[in-house]
Amino acid sequence: MIKPKVAIILGAGQISMAIARRVGRGMKIFLGDKRLDNANAIAATMTNAGFDVAPCQTDISSRESIEEIVARARECGEITQFVNGAGVSPSQAPIETILKVDLYGTALALEIVGDAIAQGGAGVTISSQSGWRMPQLTPEQDRALATTPTEELLDLDFLQPAQIRDTLHAYQLAKRCNEKRVMAECIHWSKRGARLNAIAPGIIVTPLAIDEFNGPRGDFYKNMFAKCPAGRPGVADEVADVAELLLGERGAFITGSTFLIDGGATASYFYGPLQPNLNQ
């Protein structure tokens, strides 16, 4: 008997939903979010559109919680798709929470799902352009972010709150870790015949982005998309365009990579009108 195909989606947000709608046809989708009401709302929208979605209360920063959703998914069928869109932004949480959720939580999810993903499966985690803006770390720090055992990550000396300037710096470190972690974890996933990649979006219009627009760095973010080559923010379906490639057969030779999708904002930051020295 052929087992049903199952997808795990973490983070009940607009990007996660856009990706799930793109790749989740004919699959059982387990949708996890720390706030069950968020998962219920997205699940209701997708169910009304013909998808099979089971909302779950899932805390990405809890090993027990991630193991629970993975166990539920495996009882139903083979986990062939994984999308991690869970996270908090610099304006939504303190340094410790950003590191616990965006850095440790992502590493935890990639590890646990990597032990359960089916042959031929694929995963995508949502990172951020912010990881590309921070000055380069040392090779030793990059390797530590990539390969330190998950439960020891938050003990790294350069991740101690006293070493971190502010919540934006914490977020940048977390997203740099996401990208390095994907490179290391794709080796682990390959032992099960599966692939893993990351997408680093720029300004995508979501409730999280709107929080940033209305937060202390709102003018900075509005200036960013105004002066990027695209001249506008992105939408969740444009992230789903990339995810569809990475999760499907046409992405069969792509693993361990991070795809920057930011309308050219990072290019403008280094070489165009967003260069910091031009705005001082």
The catalytic residues are 171, 175
Q: Following DSSP, what letter does each residue of 266-280 receive, concatenated? A: HHHHHHSTT-GGG--
Distance CA 131, CA 129 (A): 5
- Residue 145 structure tokens: 């972010």
Nearby residues of 250 by Cβ (< 8 Å), 6 or more positions away: none
Distance CA 28, CA 45 (A): 15
- Residue 20 structure tokens: 């799930």
Distance CA 36, CA 112 (A): 21
Distance CA 214, CA 65 (A): 32
